[in-house]
Amino acid sequence: MLLVRYVLTIRVNDHSGSNWFSCFNDVATELLGCSADTLALWKENKNEQAVEQAYNNATFRQLKFRIRAKSETYMDESRVKYQVMSAAPLNFADESRSLIDAIRKYQAR
């Protein structure tokens, strides 16, 4: 039995632009729809079609991310690293209600 864990780097796009994010085991498993052990087994067995399908299923999905941003300094150069803490399918009804509530609070001022 393999004991493999994910460290997945993804590029996320929205209306404001794009950025690179790190996903660790739990989030990456949810995004790809299979465990790191399973993906490693597919790669080991040269099942490239299954590997490609896992990545294709994770591509161009609309998800709601909870992100952690952390500033790091290396050799006097600061940069921000982003990590996906959770990813969930977008619920348009809930998001719309949240936006409507925010607009109402803003109008009440």
**Considering the domain boundaries, does residue 15 fall inside one?**
yes
Q: Could you give the strand order of the β-sheet that contains 17-24, starting from the edge strand earlier in sequence? A: 7-14, 17-24, 77-89, 63-74
**Considering the domain boundaries, does residue 56 fall inside one?**
yes
Q: Classify strands 63-74 and 7-14 as parallel, antiparallel or unpaired.
A: unpaired
**Considering the domain boundaries, does residue 63 fall inside one?**
yes
pLDDT exceeds cutoff 70 at 2: no
Confidence of residue 4 (pLDDT cuts 50, 70, 90): confident
pLDDT exceeds cutoff 60 at 22: yes
Domain count of the fold of the chain: 1
- Give the list of residues 6+ apart from residue 53 with CB closer than 8 angstroms, or none: none
Q: Tokens representing 13?
A: 């796009």
Q: Say how many C-beta atoms besides its own lie within 10 A of residue 101's C-beta.
A: 10
Tell me the CATH number at 24.
2.40.50.140
**Considering the domain boundaries, does residue 2 fall inside one?**
no
Average pLDDT over residues 46-57: 94
**Considering the domain boundaries, does residue 47 fall inside one?**
yes
Q: Which pLDDT tens digit goes with each residue over 65-97? A: 999 999 999 999 999 999 999 999 999 999 999
**Considering the domain boundaries, does residue 42 fall inside one?**
yes
Radius of gyration in angstroms for the set of CA atoms belonging to the chain, rounded to a whole number: 18
pLDDT exceeds cutoff 70 at 58: yes
Domain that holds residue 20: 7-108
